[in-house]
Structure 1
Amino acid sequence: MLISNACIKGYRNLKNVDLKLNRLVIFIGENNSGKSNLLKAITLPFLNNEIGNVGKNLGWHDINNDLKNTYFNFIKINLEKIKDSEIDIKDFVSIIPFVSVMVTFEPEGADEYYVRKWNNYLDDGKLLYQIEYRYFVENPKQLLEHITKILADKCEDDVDNMKLNLLPIEMFKYSIVVPTTNEQVAFNDLTSFKYNSLAAERDDFSYKNTKLGSQALVNLLHNKLGDEQKVKVEESYGKFFDDLKEISNLEGIFNWQEISEIENAKEFFDQISLLPNMPSINSLLNNVRLGIGEEYLYSQGLGYRNLIYLLVMMNSLEVNSDIALNILTVEEPEAHLCISNERLLASFINSTIKSSKQMQLFISTHSSEYLNKLELNNVTIVKEGKAFSLTGVAGKEDLEYLAKKPNLDFLKFLFSRRCILVEGPSEEMLIKSYLSFQKNVLNDIEVISLHKGFKNMLDIWLKVNDGTSNRIGIIRDFDDQPKAQLSHEEYNDNHSIFVTTTTEYTLEPEFVKTNKNFEKLKKYFSEEYGWKDDEIKSPDALSDKWRTAKTDIMLNFCQDFGMGHLKDISLPKHIEKVLKFLQSGVKE
């Protein structure tokens, strides 16, 4: 069993998102793109015991702003008709904001039993198993009467100052239904679907010694205790209380009857006894906290606390035979972790998801450690409230191409606001060094060395960054391939891409033959490395010597150039043009 599709409408910045889902789904995207909103939205249809509770009754700010603006603009445009009660109720209903999350299940074999009541026959006769969470105005007519009364003596300018009253959240309700029949989904039918949420703000469970436990840990322990185990807890508490009475002689406190002259005092006080005030199971469990060996977890480092917490919580999610699907959402699992612990956790996640067909895992991340290049079909890209699977923007050949790229930081390539692709380490070292020592300039340019294959990368980048202000530059060598140069520079027709090519064969001769660089570079290499005049007497000779030299020489040169020690040496034009384009958007 798994959720094969999720259609989300009107939730926060997710105006209309339709996603195909796998057993493992990895959401990647920039800050504030909507990743956390997706994780929360997917859990809305499921009412059960949960960790990291997401309320089913939403708030005013959970409703998509575009939908609300459409609603208020409608009111402004039709203000007079509203006052005169001339608005058609159907037209009004069509623009009332709402939230909808519809999930489609894909059962396997006997799992069909759990979703048998949720079958939906579509127009083409196809059978789907679906349920839908809805958050909507229950009585649109009442809402229309309400705003008509409020607006009786108001003008159009007043609408912006009374939005909360014109769309009162009190008139909204939530329900979970079967979409095609509108039948309510019974709570008992949802009990076989569990979800657990591990949010990014998860460290408060252990950050100080006065924090005895967290709600997440308490819920986990409570859910794991069976009826027989809970009875044993109660019996243990009773024994603890009896021992406490004996040790502290608490009954001696109530001994007035022994010294009283009242005849029936003993008879009366013998009926008084101390009874255990048995607390709830949750109260007992709230006094439990995680530890490492003999030390409490709060005494460990921040990253280690988060690692242990995630491992413990995920390891506890055993799937019982009567569970149809166990949904787990994890927000930024890499938070506070060093690279080795990131890899450990990523390996643990992969092992966990592959061990059960009754679990489905959703992760949001900014780390490439959780992107398995051999399973890029699990990646979903989130951008400005829109989401689409990587398979939707890249074909099979493109995904195979990406999987073969060694050391490609996929996230940096896709989401850098300013990015430069270069063919080799020489250009990468040069540009990074040059940028790192620029003063009075904020630098957000990412430089990635790919060697070859820019066209494949650009096709993917364009699909992901369509409609954004992000820019990408490509710096390539001529390599005596004029046709390849023309085919790459065709991308310059796009305003967000600038491709430049050396006029010489590679970078080194281009550098030597730029402006008056030859004499200055000749002097530099002669003084720094003892290159003899007869070896570097011409630009071509110097270029050949430099190109075949050890990489350490290029590294040292790049550092010296970037630090400004070689002020009179000019940057090659094809590199300079790309840098200016990324900073200003102007192509020269």
Structure 2
Amino acid sequence: MYVSQLEISNYRNFTNFNVKLKPVTQIIGENNIGKSNLLDSLGLIFSQDVSFFKRRILEISDFNYNTILELKKSILNTSIPPQDILYPKIVIKATLKDWNLKQEAVITDWMSNSDFTEATLTYTFAPISSFDKVEEITQQRQFLKDYEEELGTEEFKKIPESEILNLINFPISKYHYRIHGGNQNESLANAYHLNQLKFELLDALRDAKSELSASRNNGLLFRVLNANEETEYQDLKKQLVGLQRAIEDNDAISGIKNRISEQLDKISLSTETSNNVVDLIFSLPNVADLLRKLSLIYNDNPIKIERNGTGRNNLLFISLMLSFIEDPERMQSTFFRIVGLEEPEAHLHANLQNHLASNLEGLIKEEDGTYRKDIQLILTSHSNHITTKIDFENTVVLHFKNGNVQAHYILDGFGTTAEEKRQINYLKKYLDSENINLFYSRRLALVEGISEKLLFPIFYKIKTGETVDQSACAIVNVNGLAFKNFLQIVVNGFHTKCLVLTDSDIGTKSEDRAEELKNKYDGVDKINVQISELSTFEKDLIDCNKSKEGKKILCGTLKIVRPNAGEKYVDDLGTDDINVENYFSLIEDYKSEFALQLSLSLTAEHTGFNIPKYIEDGISFLDPLICK
């Protein structure tokens, strides 16, 4: 069984959000896009953890900000009748499918379709039934009216709307939560059945040191140890037999008892029913007391976890959690468990990240390669190493589109034709730890080779005043002419505004390629194909800087890249303009060295250097508001 679809309304940064999930789902996207919020929303339904029970009673800050703002503006607008104003509610709906017979016994009452192949659980945080919204809105409006009369209409009008809106209360105390199953909102989910479903979250800010000690009742190690039946630890108690006698025979303890009795004789009276003799009794600890004394140690020379490196403790913590969920035959195994793993890469070097990611999917698979029915794994990551090791079929990108967060699977829209399969294979090969950055960006520039990759960030900074990183712009070198493979992702629905910089290749066998590419994507408003005027990027660059300050920069660069031939060329050139073909012939076999050295020169000083027009136009397409 697994959650196949999650729908979220008005929760934190989600307005109306819908995402399909798989037995293993990797969620990526830029910071603050809602990856943690998505996991938290699942916890509101499935977690049995005490902290999540408390978290189910939400705060105002848990509501989508724009939803609250819209409500307050409606209250402020007295032309809207109170009965027409709707107070927002948070709704999180999880659809379950593909269960086994044991799980079916738990979810039967939650069936939600006529084929009995889907079941739903819905968390709702909404006003209580006795809440009188008309009375509430009337009171709020009366308060504002009284305040305006007190202050005076002219002074009241000077107050910014944002401050007026802050005066309007949101009746959070009138809200409560409920979890219901199926399509009947009146049918509360049976608490016993709901308890058979679990949610385990390894959050990004996990305290590995605390969790690896069993001294805390809610610590992970204690929960793992305490998950077994008490009878399995019965033999430990046998080791304590005779400990009471040993305590009584201990000279130090006997001396303490005698000294206490002597002092008691001095300050107390003996009666017929009592004397001043004291003793110490040993209370046999229960199993839980014994387990709390355990901590994990690691390595051949065992040391306490406090002495371990943070990365090692993080691996121990993940391993502990996975051992807790992996054994389906464990006595207290649940019918279904969702595991949310946030940023498993924390404190791990690249090799460890690669190794961890390569083995994550295998942890929830049967021997025949099928996914287990009792576990669903949802992980979030910012690590390019981990991201590229998880199957792209299971990788979904969260991104902003039209102001709202939306989900897009990397391979959404690709079909089963031979061409599309070839494109998928290409992407799996070339979406490496560097190129995967395109999914963390809001702008994308596809370039043909290393020269453009090195110089485009410099041109972008010159043109916009911002770095490509500040503008959330990714640059991908397609290593030749494989633009279509990457562009298909954009065509299939990924939001990125995509610029293509390509050579015209005039005078070569492929001189029609660039125009064909431009014509193919002219109808896609998110894609802009820019073509060099001359045959190559370098020739355009030389042509627009063949005189004045641009010439000085190019000549200085050439002398560094080609110390002998470059020096001679510059000396022979004198005051003449640079000849494009002659200059290009000197760098044709040194393109990457030329681009690197030019980028260093322009970083130090770019005054008077001209950017080729087709590149300027491309940058303006990517960032029309900031371009100077």
In 2, the alpha carbon distance for the partners of 1:24 and 1:59 equals 31
In 2, the alpha carbon distance for the partners of 1:459 and 1:287 equals 57
In 1, the alpha carbon distance for the partners of 2:167 and 2:627 equals 47
1:350 aligns with 2:361: yes
Asked whether the equivalents of residues 14 and 34 of structure 1 are also in contact (C-alpha less than 8 Å), the reply is yes
Structure 1's 519 and 456: CA in aligned 2 closer, same or farther, altered over 3 A?
same
Q: Deviations over 1:300-332 (max 9, x none)?
A: 333333233223322332343453212100111
Structure 1's 150 and 345: CA in aligned 2 closer, same or farther, altered over 3 A?
same
In 2, the alpha carbon distance for the partners of 1:258 and 1:142 equals 72
Equivalent residue number for residue 310 of structure 2 = 302
One-letter amino acid matched to 1:196: E
Asked whether the equivalents of residues 205 and 214 of structure 1 are also in contact (C-alpha less than 8 Å), the reply is no
Give the drift of 1:423: 0.5
1:477 aligns with 2:514: no
Give the drift of 1:4: 1.6
Structure 1's 51 and 174: CA in aligned 2 closer, same or farther, altered over 3 A?
closer
1:180 aligns with 2:209: no
Equivalent residue number for residue 329 of structure 1 = 340
Q: Deviations over 1:23-42 (max 9, x none)?
A: 11111111111111100111
Asked whether the equivalents of residues 44 and 54 of structure 1 are also in contact (C-alpha less than 8 Å), the reply is no
In 1, the alpha carbon distance for the partners of 2:94 and 2:465 equals 51
Give the drift of 1:373: 6.8
Alignment of 1:473-512 (within 5 A): 473-480=499-506, 481=510, 483-489=512-518, 497-512=527-542
Give the drift of 1:275: 3.2
Asked whether the equivalents of residues 463 and 616 of structure 2 are also in contact (C-alpha less than 8 Å), the reply is no
Give the drift of 1:475: 1.6
Equivalent residue number for residue 377 of structure 1 = 393
One-letter amino acid matched to 1:540: E
Equivalent residue number for residue 540 of structure 1 = 581
Q: 2:456 aligns with which of 431, 453, 463?
A: 431
In 1, the alpha carbon distance for the partners of 2:192 and 2:2 equals 19
Structure 1's 61 and 140: CA in aligned 2 closer, same or farther, altered over 3 A?
farther
Q: Deviations over 1:325-367 (max 9, x none)?
A: 1210011122232211211221231221324432111111112
Q: 1:167 aligns with which of 171, 176, 188?
A: 171
In 2, the alpha carbon distance for the partners of 1:504 and 1:330 equals 51
Equivalent residue number for residue 414 of structure 1 = 439
Equivalent residue number for residue 449 of structure 1 = 477
1:107 aligns with 2:148: no
TM (norm. structure 1) is 0.81
Q: Deviations over 1:431-459 (max 9, x none)?
A: 35677999985552432201323344335
Higher mean Cα deviation, 326-335 or 410-419? 410-419
Asked whether the equivalents of residues 206 and 305 of structure 1 are also in contact (C-alpha less than 8 Å), the reply is no
Equivalent residue number for residue 120 of structure 1 = 111
Structure 1's 371 and 560: CA in aligned 2 closer, same or farther, altered over 3 A?
closer
One-letter amino acid matched to 1:99: I
Q: Deviations over 1:165-218 (max 9, x none)?
A: x423344233343333632222221233222100111136359x9996694324
1:405 aligns with 2:430: yes
One-letter amino acid matched to 2:125: Y
In 2, the alpha carbon distance for the partners of 1:427 and 1:11 equals 42
Structure 1's 545 and 242: CA in aligned 2 closer, same or farther, altered over 3 A?
farther
Q: Deviations over 1:3-58 (max 9, x none)?
A: 22222222222222222211111111111111111001112222535798773222
User: What's the secondary structure of 1:326's corresponding residue?
Assistant: strand
1:292 aligns with 2:298: yes
Identity %: 20
User: What's the secondary structure of 1:348's corresponding residue?
Assistant: helix
Higher relative CO (Cα under 8 Å, sequence separation at least 6) belongs to: 1
User: What's the secondary structure of 1:173's corresponding residue?
Assistant: strand
In 1, the alpha carbon distance for the partners of 2:546 and 2:182 equals 75
User: What's the secondary structure of 1:11's corresponding residue?
Assistant: coil
Give the drift of 1:141: 4.2
Give the drift of 1:97: 1.8
Structure 1's 111 and 6: CA in aligned 2 closer, same or farther, altered over 3 A?
farther
One-letter amino acid matched to 1:307: L
Structure 1's 320 and 242: CA in aligned 2 closer, same or farther, altered over 3 A?
farther
Asked whether the equivalents of residues 241 and 276 of structure 1 are also in contact (C-alpha less than 8 Å), the reply is yes
Equivalent residue number for residue 217 of structure 1 = 220
Structure 1's 70 and 392: CA in aligned 2 closer, same or farther, altered over 3 A?
farther
Structure 1's 368 and 111: CA in aligned 2 closer, same or farther, altered over 3 A?
farther
User: What's the secondary structure of 1:188's corresponding residue?
Assistant: helix
Gaps of 5+ in 1: none
In 1, the alpha carbon distance for the partners of 2:112 and 2:617 equals 58
Q: 2:253 aligns with which of 229, 239, 250?
A: 250
CA RMSD of aligned residues (A): 4.4
Q: Deviations over 1:408-447 (max 9, x none)?
A: 6454113324432211112223335677999985552432
Q: 2:615 aligns with which of 556, 575, 578?
A: 575
Alignment of 1:311-330 (within 5 A): 311-321=319-329, 323-330=334-341
Q: 2:195 aligns with which of 191, 196, 199?
A: 191
Structure 1's 540 and 266: CA in aligned 2 closer, same or farther, altered over 3 A?
farther
Asked whether the equivalents of residues 411 and 489 of structure 2 are also in contact (C-alpha less than 8 Å), the reply is no
Equivalent residue number for residue 156 of structure 2 = none
Structure 1's 174 and 534: CA in aligned 2 closer, same or farther, altered over 3 A?
closer
Higher mean Cα deviation, 265-274 or 442-451? 265-274
In 2, the alpha carbon distance for the partners of 1:231 and 1:331 equals 37
One-letter amino acid matched to 2:181: V
User: What's the secondary structure of 2:31's corresponding residue?
Assistant: coil
One-letter amino acid matched to 1:3: V
Structure 1's 305 and 556: CA in aligned 2 closer, same or farther, altered over 3 A?
same
In 2, the alpha carbon distance for the partners of 1:16 and 1:266 equals 79
Higher mean Cα deviation, 101-110 or 29-38? 101-110
Asked whether the equivalents of residues 52 and 216 of structure 1 are also in contact (C-alpha less than 8 Å), the reply is no
Asked whether the equivalents of residues 339 and 377 of structure 2 are also in contact (C-alpha less than 8 Å), the reply is yes
In 2, the alpha carbon distance for the partners of 1:116 and 1:223 equals 27
User: What's the secondary structure of 1:317's corresponding residue?
Assistant: helix
Asked whether the equivalents of residues 203 and 305 of structure 1 are also in contact (C-alpha less than 8 Å), the reply is no
Asked whether the equivalents of residues 454 and 596 of structure 2 are also in contact (C-alpha less than 8 Å), the reply is no
In 1, the alpha carbon distance for the partners of 2:389 and 2:354 equals 14
Structure 1's 413 and 272: CA in aligned 2 closer, same or farther, altered over 3 A?
same
Give the drift of 1:64: 2.6
Gaps of 5+ in 2: 149-163, 367-371, 574-578
In 1, the alpha carbon distance for the partners of 2:96 and 2:79 equals 44
Structure 1's 374 and 329: CA in aligned 2 closer, same or farther, altered over 3 A?
closer
Equivalent residue number for residue 390 of structure 1 = 409
Asked whether the equivalents of residues 3 and 94 of structure 2 are also in contact (C-alpha less than 8 Å), the reply is yes
In 2, the alpha carbon distance for the partners of 1:71 and 1:534 equals 71
One-letter amino acid matched to 1:302: T
For this pair of structures, how many residues does the alignment match? Answer: 572
Asked whether the equivalents of residues 385 and 433 of structure 2 are also in contact (C-alpha less than 8 Å), the reply is no
Asked whether the equivalents of residues 414 and 464 of structure 1 are also in contact (C-alpha less than 8 Å), the reply is no
